[in-house]
Amino acid sequence: MWNEIKSNITSALVYFREFILFLILVVLTIFLLVDNTSLSIPLIFLLLVVGIIILNLIGRRRIKEINEIKEIISSIRQNKFESSTEIFLSKYLDKLENEIKQMFEKTKSDIEYLERLQKMRSQFLANVSHELRTPIFAIQGYIETLLNGALNDPKVNKHFLEKAEHHTVNLSNLLNDLIDISMIESGEMRMSYRYFDISDFIKNIVNEFSLIAEEKNIQIIFNPPNTGLQVFGDKERLRQVFVNLIQNAIKYTDEGNVEILLEEEKKSVNINVIDTGIGIPQEDIDRIFERFYRVDKARSKAVGGTGLGLAIVKHIIDAHSSKIIVESVFGKGSRFSFKLKK
Ligand SMILES: Nc1ncnc2c1ncn2[C@@H]1O[C@H](COP(=O)(O)OP(=O)(O)OP(=O)(O)O)[C@@H](O)[C@H]1O
Ligand SMILES: [Mg+2]
């Protein structure tokens, strides 16, 4: 009992200054109002007793509240709560309760984010190793077969060498994409923005693809606007974007055409790469920009894709403060569009 009162009062001593000030005021008032000394002395004594009782009550309340907060913090530390709705403090601490709830939510989402990041990192590493293994094993296989005698067989030796070379090209493309991705994601990729003629720029890229498209009997349609339309962006990086999008459009189209359509707007140019290809199922649309994501793994692999192209495209378009939009009807075709500043 005495110990409890002692600790209550000690705890209330943070208000000691206020308490003394209050006492002095009351003592002065008593002296001013009561002339009779024999009455004022017991009054002051009574006042002291009341003061100590009040200090005891204040201290008790303070200890209770601090314990309550301590308990909540220690429960959070021990992961006892699933959600912030389980956190309660007494009525007068509602503001603090809100703060603690917000802190809890923030920490929870930070941890979830870090866990997701960690998972993505391990998945990325697993994907990279898997993708590297395929061409390396293939090259190794061809070389071994050649060394084991096939080298002297004119029916297969050239064919095997060509196959091995094909895989080295894939390997080198993959490594270049990986270097790009890691540079972009670590913020090391420096962009250099300037104005350039978008029509000329696209014309050149379209020319590069004309042979591949012809081989597949696909027509590339590009009707550039008459005036020299200038856009603002990093030409080299945007080249990568166009190459990726046009390459995809050709790769994933069996018949029909690929169109690059420029729509001039007030402050920007809306660029569309449209194809009449296999399209993308609705449930995959949100995922095609993820690293290594391929809708039809077998088909992408057959046409030499690793699923990094669109991840790079998205990063580059994002860096231009723009957004890439996909519309696609499965079996009918796709349209990839984004805006560039004029
Ligand atoms: N125009 C398109 N039509 C249909 N599907 C597409 C189209 N563009 C992309 N896709 C789908 O999205 C996936 C991801 O595309 P992305 O360009 O990232 O990878 P990729 O073409 O397979 O390989 P990479 O570009 O790295 O060589 C593709 O595998 C394909 O399934
Ligand atoms: Mg691609």
Q: Are residues 300 and 238 in the same domain?
A: yes
Q: Are residues 202 and 220 in the same domain?
A: yes
Burial category of 318 from C-beta neighbours within 10 Å (exposed 0-12, middle 13-18, buried 19 and up): middle
CA-wise closest residue to 280 among 233, 329, 209 = 329
Q: Which ligand is nearest to the CA of 307?
A: 1
What's residue 110's pLDDT?
95
283-329 pLDDT, tens digit per residue, is: 999 999 999 999 987 777 677 778 899 999 999 999 999 999 999 99
Residue 202 domain-assigned? yes
Query: What's the CATH number where 171 sits?
Result: 1.10.287.130
Q: Which residue is listed with tokens 């696609």?
A: 328
- Residue whose CA is at the smallest distance from ligand 1 atom 12: 288
What's residue 208's pLDDT?
95
Q: Are residues 152 and 115 in the same domain?
A: yes
Residue 89 domain-assigned? no
Long-range contacts of 326-333 (CB under 8 A, 24+ apart): 326/280, 326/285, 326/288, 328/279, 328/280, 328/285, 329/279, 330/278, 330/279, 330/280, 330/281, 330/282, 331/278, 331/279, 332/276, 332/279, 333/253, 333/256, 333/274, 333/275, 333/276, 333/277, 333/279
Q: Are residues 54 and 133 in the same domain?
A: no
Question: Residue 34 is part of which domain span?
Answer: 2-80
Q: Are residues 206 and 328 in the same domain?
A: yes
C-alpha of residue 213 to centroid of ligand 2, in Å: 15
Domain count, the chain: 3
Q: Are residues 205 and 164 in the same domain?
A: no
**Which residues' Cβ are closer than 6 Å to ligand 1?**
177, 244, 248-249, 252, 275, 277-280, 288, 293-296, 300, 305-311, 334
Kindly report the average pLDDT of the chain as a whole number: 91
Residue 86 domain-assigned? no
Q: Are residues 119 and 246 in the same domain?
A: no
Q: Which helix (H) or strand (E) holds 50?
A: helix 37-77
Query: What's the CATH number where 241 sits?
Result: 3.30.565.10
Choosing from 212, 243, 248, 294 the residue with most ligand 1 atoms within 8 A of its CB, the one to mutate for a pocket test is: 248
Residue 132 CB coordination number (10 Å): 15
- Residue whose CA is at the smallest distance from ligand 1 atom 8: 248
Q: Are strands 230-233 and 194-197 parallel, antiparallel or unpaired?
A: antiparallel
Q: Are residues 166 and 234 in the same domain?
A: no
Residue 304 domain-assigned? yes
Q: Are residues 118 and 73 in the same domain?
A: no
Out of 185, 215, 238, a domain closes at 185
Helix axes 198-215, 235-251, angle to 10 degrees: 30
Residue 47 CB coordination number (10 Å): 15
Out of 185, 213, 246, a domain closes at 185
Out of 185, 205, 231, a domain closes at 185
Q: Are residues 229 and 330 in the same domain?
A: yes
Q: Which ligand is nearest to the CA of 334?
A: 1
Q: Are residues 235 and 337 in the same domain?
A: yes
Choosing from 250, 286, 300, 332 the residue with most ligand 1 atoms within 8 A of its CB, the one to mutate for a pocket test is: 300
Residue 177 domain-assigned? yes
Q: Are residues 261 and 333 in the same domain?
A: yes
Residue 306 domain-assigned? yes
Average pLDDT over residues 259-277: 96
pLDDT band at 227 (very low <50, low <70, confident <90, very high): confident
C-alpha of residue 126 to centroid of ligand 1, in Å: 20
- Residue whose CA is at the smallest distance from ligand 1 atom 4: 279
Residue 267 domain-assigned? yes
Residue 90 domain-assigned? no
52-105 pLDDT, tens digit per residue, is: 898 899 999 999 999 999 999 999 999 899 999 999 888 888 899 999 999 999
What's residue 63's pLDDT?
92
Burial category of 214 from C-beta neighbours within 10 Å (exposed 0-12, middle 13-18, buried 19 and up): exposed
